[in-house]
Amino acid sequence: MQYCDSSGITTMIIAHRHAHAVQADIALTAVPTHIARVLRITGLDQVFTLHTDSSHAERD
């Protein structure tokens, strides 16, 4: 992901709500630093599980 605006944030929130409705989780892997900052500012880093790389995601 190179860029995330309010539309991207809204889409992520909607995806989270859909996943939550079916008792599922969404994890994000290898999130670029600038996108991780957006997630922190919006509080979405507390909503989504963040993994540094796919090997960490596969273990969880």
* Residue-level pLDDT, tens digit, the chain, 60 residues: 788 889 999 999 999 999 999 999 999 999 999 999 999 999 999 999 998 877 766 665
Q: Is residue 38 part of a domain?
A: yes
Per the structure block, which two tokens stand in for 45?
Answer: 């880093």
Does residue 12 fall inside a structural domain? Answer: yes
b/e code 23-41 from CB counts within 10 Å (16+ = b): eeeeebeebeeebeebbee
How many angstroms separate the CA atoms of 50 and 28, rounded?
A: 5
> What's the domain range around 42?
6-59
- Say what the pLDDT of residue 11 is: 94
Domains contained in the chain, number: 1
Residue 1, domain member (yes or no): no
List CB contacts of 60: < 8 A, sequence separation 6 or more.
27, 49, 51
What confidence score (pLDDT) does residue 18 get?
97
